[in-house]
Amino acid sequence: MMALRASVFRWVSEDISSKHYLTNRFTLQTQQRSGFRKVAKREEPKKGVAEEAEQNEILHKKGVAPAPDPPTPHVPTRSFGRLVKPLVFTIGFTGCSFGGAAIWQYESLKSRVQGYFDDVKADWLEKKRPQKQGDLGKQVSKWWNSLSDGQKTVTGIIAANALVFCCWRVPSLQRTMLKYFTSDPSSKALCWPMLLSTFSHYSLFHMAANMYVLWSFSSSIVNLMGKEQFMALYLSAGVISTFVSYVSKTAMGRFGPSLGASGAIMTVLAAVCTKMPEAKLAIIFLPMYTFTAGNALKAIVALDTTGLILGWRFFDHAAHLGGALFGIWYIIYGHELVWKNREPLVKLWHDFRTRGRGAGGNGSK
């Protein structure tokens, strides 16, 4: 159900290097079709240190510079010190996400009363003016109003993923996309890719599978949390799952880029399954077979744990497992520890807004 991560990057690499590969293949075919066969080059025996020094000295006397040594390939080092900055970014971004969500909810509640009167006025004007048949804007508005709050919320996430998917198709953006929209602990860019890679998909199937799962669980998760808390959970889950992937890759010494929303979606899936373990789920292609959400979560966690222990590289199992564990933790403990303790921040924001409005009123007199 979760889409591929590691295999997707292989597709990226093959697509970027396709021109070079085709050129080599074409050259090989023309050499095989020619009537003459090239003489195989004889391998010269390796020179010793003394012979090489003597040759360099002769070249130096003749005024010719010796050939430079071939560059050694860069091998990533298993340094946990590089993870300090991503850890600070993860903690800071998670705190800002939930803090911003608390303020967002305060502003939404405050403007809801004014919005109620605006809706009444808009309904009255709608009845007074003549109706237009076949109006595209009206059809879009009707479709939008038919969506649930969860579907409306994830529509923006899906649109962002689609935009990033289109950016992968622009050749001039390939280097930027690889640097900032794939996460790799051996890369120079460590922090922002933890968030941006959550919205990044190179394969259409990869994006479609992830967005379908997100759309399917959107109504349930938003009804449980509200759109503000859900957005904070989703964004934080993307960063946290990527950090878990960083730790796993560094510990095992298996570096490589990852991308996709699988870690964040695993958090959503785990949160819903933990909150409603008796809910019935089914696979899209096998709707006749149903199972409980609790059993589905156990199977997914067991699969990712096995893949992580055995070193499977078909999926980013560490990111999946990190996202699932974060979703379980948040439903059991995190909601009480984080969201229900937001009142001091909201009160501080309320006092700031009130004091700012009062200062503005005194200044205008």
Contacts of 203 (CB under 8 A, 6+ apart): 3, 4, 8, 11
Residue 17 known to be catalytic = no
d(CA 155, CA 353): 31
Structure tokens, 108: 């939404």
Distances (CA, A) of 181 to 176, 202, 211: 8, 10, 17
Catalytic residue among 320, 335, 350, 364: 320
Backbone angles phi, psi at 234, to 5 degrees: -65, -50
Q: Are 216 and 23 within 8 A, CB to CB?
A: no
One-letter amino acid for residue 29 of the chain: Q
DSSP calls for 69-91: PPPPPP-----GGGGHHHHHHHH
Among all chains, which residue has been given the structure tokens 């799952």? 241
Query: Could you tell me which of 345, 120, 90 has the C-alpha nearest to residue 242?
Result: 90
Residue 262 known to be catalytic = yes
d(CA 314, CA 320): 12
Catalytic residue among 203, 262, 317, 364: 262
Alpha helices (H) in 253-334, listed in sequence order = 262-275, 293-310, 317-329
d(CA 290, CA 269): 16
3-class state of residue 295 by DSSP: helix
Q: Are 220 and 331 within 8 A, CB to CB?
A: no
Burial class (CB in 10 A: 0-12, 13-18, 19+), 42: exposed
d(CA 157, CA 217): 13
d(CA 220, CA 197): 25
Structure tokens, 155: 């529509």
Active site positions, annotated: 262, 320
